[in-house]
Amino acid sequence: MNGLTRRSFATKACAGIAALGIVSRLNQPAEAQLVWTTSEWNLATFEGLLHEKARVKQLFDITQVEDGASLAKVKNSLNGLHYGFGVPVDQVKVICGMHGPANLLNYDDYVWQKYRIGAWLNINDPRTREPAVRNPYYFSKLTDDAAHITAVTDPSAETSPLQDASMQGLQRRGARFLSCHTALEEQVRQLIKHYTLSETPETIVRDMLAHTVPEVLVVASMVSAIALLQCEGGYSYVVV
187 exposed, middle or buried (CB, 10 Å; 0-12, 13-18, 19+)?
A: buried
Asked whether the beta carbons of 175 and 138 are under 8 A apart, the reply is no
Say how far apart CA 122 and CA 129 lie, in whole Å.
Answer: 11
Distances in Å between the Cα of 236 and the Cα atoms of 40, 63, 214, 233 are 28, 17, 25, 9
Which ranges of the chain does DSSP label H, i.e. alpha helix?
Answer: 6-18, 43-50, 69-79, 109-114, 117-121, 167-172, 181-195, 201-209, 222-231
pLDDT value for 31: 60
pLDDT value at residue 136: 96
Three-state secondary structure of 90-132: HHEEEEEEECHHHHHHHECHHHHHHCCHHHHHCCECCCCCCEC
Domains and CATH numbers, the chain: 42-147+155-239 (3.40.1260.10)
Tell me the sheet residues that pair with 239. 61
Q: What is the pLDDT along the chain (240 residues), one digit of tens a residue?
A: 444 344 443 444 444 434 444 444 444 445 668 999 999 999 999 999 999 999 999 999 999 999 999 999 999 999 999 999 999 999 999 999 999 999 999 999 999 999 999 999 999 998 999 999 999 999 999 998 899 999 999 999 999 999 999 999 999 999 999 999 999 999 999 999 999 999 999 999 999 999 999 999 999 999 999 999 999 999 999 999
**118, 131 in Cβ contact below 8 A?**
yes
Q: How many residues does the chain have?
A: 240
In a 3-state reduction of DSSP, which class is residue 239?
Answer: strand
Alpha carbon distance 133, 98 (integer Å): 20
pLDDT at 33: 82
d(CA 193, CA 7): 45
